[in-house]
């Protein structure tokens, strides 16, 4: 589970898969959480710059899956 909190607005996004996309022609970077656009940045050349821009705007909390959560479903 991934939780992203916008530092300025306090808006919180939850999901499982974070994807970065940079358009080489326009230099616009987009970040998607479970397929939903949650962030855009201008003048980025690669995923590293986009991730850096995201970290300036958002607090990222990645939570590991509880290994016992699957076990509890069988009882």
pLDDT at 38 over 50: yes
- Percent of the chain scored above 70 by pLDDT? 84
Residue 13 confidence (pLDDT) above 70: yes
Annotate 43-75 with DSSP letters as a single string: S--SHHHHHHHHHHHEEEEE-PPPTTHHHHHT-
* Across 21-25, average pLDDT: 96
The Cα-based distances of 51 to 69, 72, 74 in angstroms read: 30, 35, 38
CA atoms within 13 A on the CB side of 16: 1
CA distance 70 to 20: 29
Distance between alpha carbon 3 and the CA centroid of its chain, in Å? 8
Q: Which pTM value belongs to this model?
A: 0.79
In the predicted model, what is the mean pLDDT of the chain?
88
Reported as a single tens digit per residue, the pLDDT across 46-67 is 999 999 999 999 998 877 665 5
Residue 14 has pLDDT above 70, yes or no: yes
């Amino acid at each position: 589970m991934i939780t992203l909190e916008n530092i300025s607005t306090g808006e919180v996004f939850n999901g499982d898969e974070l994807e970065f996309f940079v358009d080489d022609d326009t230099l616009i970077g987009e970040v998607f959480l479970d397929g939903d656009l949650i962030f855009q940045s201008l003048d980025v050349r690669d995923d590293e710059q986009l991730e850096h821009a995201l970290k300036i705007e958002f607090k990222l909390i990645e939570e590991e899956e509880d290994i016992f959560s699957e076990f509890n479903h069988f009882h």
